Amino acid sequence: MTDVADGIGLEDTRALEERYLMRTYKRAPVDFVRGEGPLLWDADGKRYLDFLTGISVCSVGHCHPEVVKAVRDQAHRLMHVSNLFYTEPMAQLAQRLSESSLGGRVFFSNSGTEAIECAIKVARKHAHQRGIAEPEIVSFEGDFHGRSYGALSATPGLAKNEALGPMLSGFRSVPHNDAAALREAVGENTAAVLIEPIQGEAGVYVTSEEALKAARDACDEVGALLILDEIQTGVGRTGSLWAYEQTPVRPDVLTSAKALGGGVPIGACVTAPSCADVLEPGDHGSTFAGGPVATAAALAVLDVVDDPVLLRHVRELGAYLCEKLNGLEGVRETRGRGLMVGVGLEEGIDAAAIAADLLERGLVVNVPRPDTLRLLPPLVIDSDHVDHAVGLIGEALLGFSAG
């Protein structure tokens, strides 16, 4: 395709935003108008290699032909009837998610945050059934679980914003990977331990096997649920369909969203059989959730991602990416698993300045903390894309140290 200018342009778009949108986001100065596979084009026709994929959403690449076809076909046939009726793609996707993970039941949502809300409800009601009047949920500092009040209360770094308070009661946190503190925090009132297998928003910090095992054991001792938030790590990102598959633990509940719809909003809360029947009619619901278009898109995404050949490719390419990054001047360490990579930069290098420079050079990344670049490329890229991206990162880092 040709690189032609498209849309109303960055300046007009910015002017509209300035006047009409709440100021909740700090955006990079680019107006994307088109995407295809690992590539994006802005309104001036400039081309970018996307190593962020809308925060691990377009994992199968932008506008994947099979996802586009599924959305288009379903949109022509039926878009919405509500959860008062049966629809086929929802039931099929539930089967697919359950059988590929914990084997229990699924609740669909429209976002990751809402998948967490469902998990919190399951945990609290499960605790209620065990006679707990004041249920507690334990998370790690640095965890991110979303921004509605339940999810926010479980997100220690954001829950301390007093201007948004009061938060829900019954949430506590311990330092990330502190297995002893976690064991200490879990007691007779614990409804659940809710944690990320790899902390994404915090800057890509892997939760240790020791901490995961401590969480599993502590939950088992008191009868609490282990909830793994796989909203960022799931759907193939780490080189297995779910990140927990590469760990020694299996959760009771997992949450998914982000990549699940390939760009169409959808989330899911999946249970093991032991807590599949906790929620009953009247306990929870959503008008849009599990609708035919979103679930048809997710089925198409899983057709691509739930493939041992692709998942091995993700593990191998992730290792190759980290090896090349570790050879660059200015890189202190790489963290993560598969194609979820945090690049820790040497002291004194401002990751935000590097990311802005990379955007100029045509590479999209993001900066979850001041010393870290986060890379979440499409899972379908090849080693040439990796070489190109690492080449640009190397140039940007050299430019920085040259002053």
Ligand X SMILES: *Cc1c(COP(=O)(O)O)cnc(C)c1O
Whether 144 is catalytic: yes
What count of other Cβ atoms lies within 10 Å of the Cβ of residue 63?
15
Judged by CB under 6 A, the chain residues 374 through 393 that form the site for ligand X are none
Q: Does 200 bind ligand X (CB under 6 A)?
A: yes
Residue 383 CA to residue 247 CA, distance in Å, equals 26
Binding mask 109-148 for ligand X (x = CB under 6 A): --xxx--x---------------------------xxx--
What is the number of residues in the chain?
403
Identify which range of 11-19, 108-116, 163-171, 243-251 contacts ligand X by CB under 6 A: 108-116
Identify which range of 171-179, 229-237, 290-298, 379-387 contacts ligand X by CB under 6 A: 229-237
| Shortest distance (Å) from residue 120 CB to ligand X | 12
Q: Does 51 bind ligand X (CB under 6 A)?
A: no
39 or 142, CB closer to ligand X?
142
Q: What angle do CA 195, 199, 200 make, to 5 degrees?
A: 130
| Shortest distance (Å) from residue 106 CB to ligand X | 16
* Single-letter amino acid code for the residue at 342: G
The DSSP 8-state label assigned to residue 81 in this structure reads -
Q: Does 294 bind ligand X (CB under 6 A)?
A: no
The beta-carbon contacts of 3-8 under 8 Å, at least 24 apart in sequence, are: 3/41, 3/45, 3/46, 3/47, 4/45, 5/43, 5/44, 5/45, 6/33, 6/34, 6/41, 6/43, 6/45, 7/31, 7/33, 7/43, 8/43
Active-site residue identified among 31, 42, 229, 252: 229
Active-site residue identified among 32, 144, 171, 400: 144
The dihedral through the CA atoms of 97, 200, 344, 402 has a sign that is: positive
Active-site residue identified among 252, 258, 324, 371: 258
| Shortest distance (Å) from residue 56 CB to ligand X | 7
Whether 258 is catalytic: yes
Q: Does 207 bind ligand X (CB under 6 A)?
A: no
Residue 7 CA to residue 247 CA, distance in Å, equals 46
Catalytic residues, by residue number, are 144, 229, 258
Interacting residues toward ligand X by CB under 6 A = 111-113, 116, 144-146, 196, 200-201, 229, 231-232, 257-258
